[in-house]
């Protein structure tokens, strides 16, 4: 049995390591590389010409659908999509008979996906497959790929923190502090760069050093010179500076 040359694309290191380990236990699968983002994936697909692609949908800047568009339906290998909770994407995959893995997935589900991909590689390539991919990309459209989770260190482990669980974010030199309930996590990034990767419908810049999850805001109190005090549901007090107040209040009132 000829080995399936496989490429893993996922921005989360724990996910890549787990998938590589599980694939290594399946006969006839050869992992030829791993990619941490969409741009790297495009280059690897063109250079390695893999048979099978495990493609994460939610990645910063260049997401899974963007990778497919950039490579082009005719050159995209057989795809097993990987997603955490994108219900719209799942419906699209099912409608076009393309496979997906919903995190976290079992070994049995992965084996089934590889088997289906093998059949696709052997029988379903060509014009018909390309047309299905083109239809899928057209149905999904160009949606922004905002951050949905963070890799954070906690008690000697790396855990995945959903973005929805974050209450507010503060700048801390070359890092940012993610405040989630009673816990605070440090992530190496700048507040400005991180702000561009968060969904603006959920997170808002309120100060040069602060971003807030708008769903956590319970009260606002006017201060002097156009500033406001924001009180979160847990009692945390933050300052909404006048520099950001007009945009914040405009968005907040339309929610």
Per-residue pLDDT, 184:
93
CATH number of the structural domain spanning residue 72: 3.40.50.2300
| pLDDT for position 97 | 47
**What is the band of 95 on the pLDDT scale with cuts at 50, 70, 90?**
very low
Whether residue 183 is contained in a domain is answered as yes
Q: Beta strands 157-162 and 4-9: pairing type?
A: unpaired
Percent of the chain topping pLDDT 70: 83
pLDDT tens, position by position, 187-212: 888 998 888 888 888 899 999 999 99
What mean pLDDT do residues 93-121 have?
A: 80
What's the total number of domains in the chain? 2
Per-residue DSSP letters for 28-89? TEEEEEEESSHHHHHHHHHHH--SEEEEES--SSS-HHHHHHHH-TTT--EEEEEESS-HHH
- Which of the pair, 86 or 108, is modelled with greater confidence? 108
- Higher model confidence: residue 235 or residue 161? 235
Q: Average pLDDT of 166-182? A: 94
pLDDT of residue 19: 95
Domain final position from 140, 170, 191: 140
Identify whether 146 is part of a domain: no
Are 13 and 129 in a shared domain? yes
Rounded to an integer, the average pLDDT of 209-219 is 94
Model confidence at 226, pLDDT cuts 50, 70, 90, reads confident
Last residue of a domain, one of 80, 105, 140: 140
> How big, in percent rounded to 5, are the helix, strand and coil portions of the chain?
40, 30, 30
Is 136 found in the same domain as 176?
Answer: no
* Under 8 Å between Cβ of 192 and 202: no
Domain boundary, last residue among 85, 107, 140:
140
**What is the rounded average pLDDT for all residues in the chain?**
84
Prediction pTM value: 0.54
Of 61 and 21, the one with more pLDDT: 21
Specify if 145 maps to a domain: no
pLDDT digits (tens, 9 = 90+) for 115-131: 888 887 776 554 555 56
Whole domain around residue 130: which residue ranges?
A: 4-140
- The pLDDT confidence band at residue 75, using thresholds 50, 70 and 90, is confident
Residue 193 and residue 134 share a domain: no
Query: What's the burial of 108, exposed, middle or buried (CB within 10 Å: 0-12/13-18/19+)?
Result: exposed
Residue 149 resides in a domain: no
Mean pLDDT of 132-149: 67
CATH, residue 225: 2.40.50.1020
Q: State residue 246's pLDDT score.
A: 84
For the stretch 9-19, pLDDT in tens is 998 899 999 99
Residue that wins the pLDDT comparison between 12 and 156 = 12
Pair 47, 86 in one domain? yes
CA–CA distance, 84 with 103 (Å, rounded to integer): 5
Q: Judge if 178 and 124 occupy the same domain.
A: no
Same domain? For 117 and 84 the reply is yes
Q: Using the predicted structure, report yes or no on whether residue 1 has a pLDDT greater than 70.
A: no
């Amino acid at each position: 049995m000829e080995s399936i040359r496989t490429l893993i694309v996922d921005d989360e290191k724990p996910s890549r390591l787990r998938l590589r380990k599980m694939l290594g236990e399946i006969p006839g699968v050869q992992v030829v590389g791993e990619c941490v983002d969409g741009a790297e994936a495009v280059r690897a697909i063109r250079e390695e010409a893999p048979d099978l692609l495990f493609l994460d949908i939610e990645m910063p800047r260049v997401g899974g659908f963007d990778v497919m568009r950039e490579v082009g339906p005719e050159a995209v290998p057989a795809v097993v999509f990987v997603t955490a909770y994108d219900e719209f994407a799942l419906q699209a995959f099912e409608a076009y008979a393309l496979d997906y893995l919903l995190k976290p997935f079992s070994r049995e589900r992965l084996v089934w996906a590889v088997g289906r991909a093998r059949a696709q590689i052997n029988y379903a390539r060509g014009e018909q497959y390309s047309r299905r991919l083109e239809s899928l990309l057209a149905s999904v459209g160009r949606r922004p790929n905002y951050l949905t989770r963070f890799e954070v260190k906690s008690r000697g482990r790396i855990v995945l923190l959903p973005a929805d669980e974050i209450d507010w974010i503060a700048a801390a030199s070359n890092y940012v502090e993610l405040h989630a309930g009673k816990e605070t996590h440090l992530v190496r990034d700048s507040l400005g760069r991180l702000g561009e990767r968060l969904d603006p419908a959920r997170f808002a810049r309120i100060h040069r050093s602060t971003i807030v999850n708008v769903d956590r805001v319970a009260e606002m109190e006017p201060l002097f010179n156009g500033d406001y005090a924001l009180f979160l549901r847990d009692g945390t007090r933050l300052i909404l500076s006048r520099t950001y107040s007009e945009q914040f209040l405009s968005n907040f009132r339309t929610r």
